[in-house]
């Protein structure tokens, strides 16, 4: 599984800090997700990220 958070943030000219504030998730946790080191993610967090980035789950997470 690959997280496309870096690409989606760049497309929206948004920083990880800005996203962190929008979704109320720590920058450290978002960084773990962004760097493909996350072992799990809560559905509520996934939904919040997708809402903040105006994207679908399939745009954020892709199979390699």
Question: What are the pLDDT digits (tens) for 13-30?
Answer: 999 999 999 999 999 999
Predicted local confidence at residue 64, as pLDDT: 84
Distances from the Cα of 17 to the Cα of 20, 22, 58, 62, angstroms:
5, 9, 23, 23
Prediction pTM value: 0.91
Give the torsion sign (CA, 16, 49, 26, 22).
Answer: positive
- What is the rounded average pLDDT for all residues in the chain? 96
| Percentage above 70 pLDDT, the chain | 100
Query: Contact, 27 vs 20, CB < 8 A?
Result: yes
* H-helix segments, 1-56: 5-11, 16-23, 27-34, 43-53
All structural domains of the chain with their residue ranges:
2-62
Topology of the domain covering 2-62: 434 Repressor (Amino-terminal Domain) (1.10.260)
- What's the whole-number mean pLDDT along residues 38-62? 96
Q: How far apart are CA 53 and CA 19, in angstroms?
A: 8
């Amino acid at each position: 599984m690959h997280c496309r958070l870096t690409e989606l943030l760049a497309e929206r000219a948004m920083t990880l800090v800005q996203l962190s504030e929008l979704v109320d998730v720590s920058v450290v946790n978002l960084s773990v997700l962004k760097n493909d080191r996350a072992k799990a993610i809560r559905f509520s967090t996934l939904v919040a990220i997708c809402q903040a980035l105006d994207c679908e789950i399939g745009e954020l997470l892709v199979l390699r």
